[in-house]
Amino acid sequence: MEGAARSRTHAWECRWAALFTEPLGEPRSWLHSYDRFAFDAFIQTQIALTLPPLPPPALIVRRGWRFARPKAGRTAPTVAERNPLCRFGRLGARRADPQGPWDSSEPRHSRPSLIWGPHSMVVLHSSKVPVHSPRCQTDMDPSTEPLSDPTPGDLCGSPPSAAAPRKQIRLQERRGSNVSLVLDVSSLGTVEPLCSISTPKETILHLLRTSTRPLTASQLKEASGQAQALDKEYQKIPPNFVNSSELDIPGHALKDRYKTILPNPETRVCLQTPGTDGKAEGYINANYIRGYGGAVKCYIATQGPMRHTVGDFWEMVWQEESSIIVMITDLKEKKEKCVLYWPQKEGRFGRFDVRVTAVRECGGYTIRDLSLQVGSESRQVRHYWYSSWLDHQTPDCVEPVLRLVWDVQHEREALTHRGPTIVHCSAGIGRTGCFIASSIGCQQLQHTGEVDVLGIVCQLRLDRGGMIQTSEQYQFLYLTLAQYSRQLSQSRHGDRGRSNTSQTDRKAQEDHHTPATAAQLQDP
């Protein structure tokens, strides 16, 4: 009888193996008519007669297929349950519970599964292997009871026992009632505020506002010769360039010489359109720059005028009542750097009549006196043109730059009405930044005997991004201020020597006249 049972089992195995070796797809039509529970009972009976019981858990492996029992309590199988085949590697590893991944401490309700080995079919049970179900069973569905874990006796052929009724844990019972969500803050006392999270822009601005390195004359002389240390110091300064999204001005790109060099919105010069009472604003790529001691609107840094922005440039000169223009670029350096925005003798630019009244050369730069007239009102403007300083480079000698800085400074001090000094090169950040930084640094050395080059550059970049464009320009700034510090020290020693000489001569003269006067007083 045992041999006959084994033959029947082997026959069933061959018949069902042919079915499961087919690729996954629509199940055989005759498979729908099978009574699932009767089939399970038949298989369990055959296993009980032919094989000894296997202790759980057992690994489910055989061609990646398995046969799952339907959920308890359902009378009619669903459409998905009519297909008893499910891919273990693709669907069986997914959890039916949508609340998250499996946890070893979480109870799971596994089900008997049909597999077969080389010679027989077995029904195995493993509490560690999740069982896929077409429909998820959650705590929110109290009508669905989980299947109970089968006992080892179930694997020996006895039908599985009915699941004991279990009380479902409802959502509020599991997560707490709404009363427990009320917090009593009266007993907390003084609570420290949360630390604010700084954005990258705020971090850059904070670094530019707080960076400083005051140097005496001797320290400046020593630092000016350390090229590598100055390069590292320069690389650490944030450029503070402006993104185009921060500048919400329609059509501004048409008036920008370089698309990546834009004015800082906080210090941007806004042109007031004539006849609109200040209600309409025009755009120009220019920024107000603070001077020595943080004096506001001491300079204006701007780009070199283009053909269609020459009128805007002269409009800014008239609006800001500027009397000094410093130009540090040639008109063309391989490419156009600036257009000629003044006439040879007389010319009209927009609504302004410009006339050249005087021209003179001064050791490396040219000075022009211009007359700017609108209607019956005219103003005098002095134009300084330093053309030998090429873009992204430094001059061979610092003396012409120092001379230009002091000529502009003396001219500014002589003015009764001091509007902003307008400085421009091509982009308005490299050579322009060097000139303004040199001017501020010279004033610091003159008044305090110290200079903070790092602090000056950081202040300039707060007002206009990218000022001092290269590391070589930063080192040239140190050399220029170190040279001025030596000249200032020599001039002070010379003044002190001249002062001592004058005091000695005056004392000798007093000593020479005193005896003669006494003799005259004693002589009858």
**Residue 338 annotated among the catalytic residues of the structure:** no
Report how far residue 68's alpha carbon sits from residue 51's, in angstroms, rounded to the nearest whole number.
21
Distances (CA, A) of 478 to 189, 215, 238, 450, 457: 55, 11, 19, 13, 11
- Whether 278 has a pLDDT exceeding 70, the answer reads no
Active-site residue identified among 425, 434, 442, 458: 425
User: To 10 degrees, what angle do helices 431-448 and 471-522 make?
Assistant: 30
Place 334 in a pLDDT band, splitting at 50, 70 and 90: confident
How far is it, in rounded angstroms, from Cα 488 to Cα 217? 10
Rounded-to-integer distance, Cα 245 and Cα 234, Å: 27
Using CA atoms, how far residue 432 sits from 140, 451, 496, in Å, is 71, 19, 35
The whole-number pLDDT of residue 390 equals 85
Whole-prediction pTM? 0.60
Say yes or no to pLDDT of 4 above 90: no
Whether the CB-CB separation of 129 and 89 falls below 8 Å is answered with no
Q: Ramachandran region of residue 375, left (φ > 0), alpha (ψ -120 to 50) or beta?
A: left
Q: What is the 3-state secondary structure (H, E, C) of 332-353?
A: EECEECCCCCCCCCEEEECCEE
pLDDT in tens, 147-166: 444 444 444 444 445 555 66
- The C-alpha atoms of residue 271 and residue 253 are separated, in whole angstroms, by 16
User: For residue 107, what are its two tokens?
Assistant: 């109870």
Range with lowest mean pLDDT among 198-202, 351-355, 515-519 = 515-519
In this structure, the number of other CB atoms found within 10 A of the CB of residue 463 comes to 22
Per-residue pLDDT at 35 exceeds 60: no
Rounded Cα gap, residues 213 and 303, in angstroms: 29
Residue-wise pLDDT tens digits, 213-254? 999 999 999 999 999 999 999 999 999 999 988 998 988 999
Place of tokens 């001039």: 491
Known binding-site residues equal 391, 425-431, 469
Please state, in angstroms and rounded to a whole number, the distance separating the CA atoms of residues 414 and 421. 13
For residue 188, count CB atoms less than 10 angstroms from its CB and return exposed for 0-12, middle for 13-18, buried for 19 or more.
Answer: exposed
Does residue 29 or residue 315 have the better pLDDT? Answer: 315
- pLDDT for position 363: 83
